[in-house]
Amino acid sequence: MANPRRNSYSNNTENSFQLQNHSRLSSIKHFLKKPLAFPFLLSIFLLLAWISLRLQHSSSSFSSSNLHERKWSQEEDEKANLIRFKSGFLSSKDKRGWLLDPVSIALEYGIKGGAVSCFSIHIGEIRPGGARGNHRHHTCNETFVIWGAKTLFRLENNQIVDKGYAEVIVGVDEVAVAASPSGTGHAIVNMDRTHTAYLIGCQDSTINYNSSATDFSVWKDL
């Protein structure tokens, strides 16, 4: 048998809840009709727009970070004529840090077309966002050592039909040895936001940048 008091209490509670909701809606509608409501709504809109932009930026940064952090395959490194090492691996036998001979390393690991000797040598840095190279030498072979930052290395490779070049990114904790044979375009770009990239360029003859022996601006997108 149903309890009339319980049913009455339940009905009264539901009616009270409905009245409260109706009262709140009426208050909100009344507030929205006032001039004061416009700056309030504008603030809410700006806040939502800011949150949306932040989420889009975070998503874009995450995708970009994933691109730079992904592991490059040995096949991709071979197409870019490059070998990479973890800096810790190179210095595992010497606590002072790593030390290598770029010509010997290139020969040992099958990097083709590099300098046969360091007749000329350049040492430099590439600050965040900067680039070096993007040119093609016709009178010398070059071997590079790259380290210190997330650094893109691009090498002209006509076997890659769709682009005509191979490129890989060297990690901040890696040391790379790469070679650019005579007549092959190359570019080194620091993709890092904070770290400086460093490089050694070893050439087996003197480079004359003022002669027609060097082609500049090989790629327009760099």
Mean pLDDT across 77-89:
92
Question: What is the structure's pLDDT at 54?
Answer: 72
Give me the helices (H) in the chain, please.
Answer: 4-32, 37-69, 74-79, 87-90, 102-108
Tell me the average pLDDT across 150-171.
Answer: 95
Can you give the pLDDT at residue 51? 79
Whether 199 and 144 have beta carbons less than 8 Å apart is answered as yes
pLDDT in tens, 200-217: 999 999 887 777 889 999
Q: Do the Cβ atoms of 72 and 83 come closer than 8 Å?
A: no
Q: How confident is the model at residue 21 (pLDDT cuts 50, 70, 90)?
A: low
Q: Is residue 96 over pLDDT 50?
A: yes
Chain segment 113-135, per-residue pLDDT in tens: 999 999 999 999 999 999 999 99
Instruction: Specify the pLDDT at position 175.
Output: 96
Q: Which residues contact 116 (CB under 8 A, 6 or more apart)?
A: 103, 141, 204
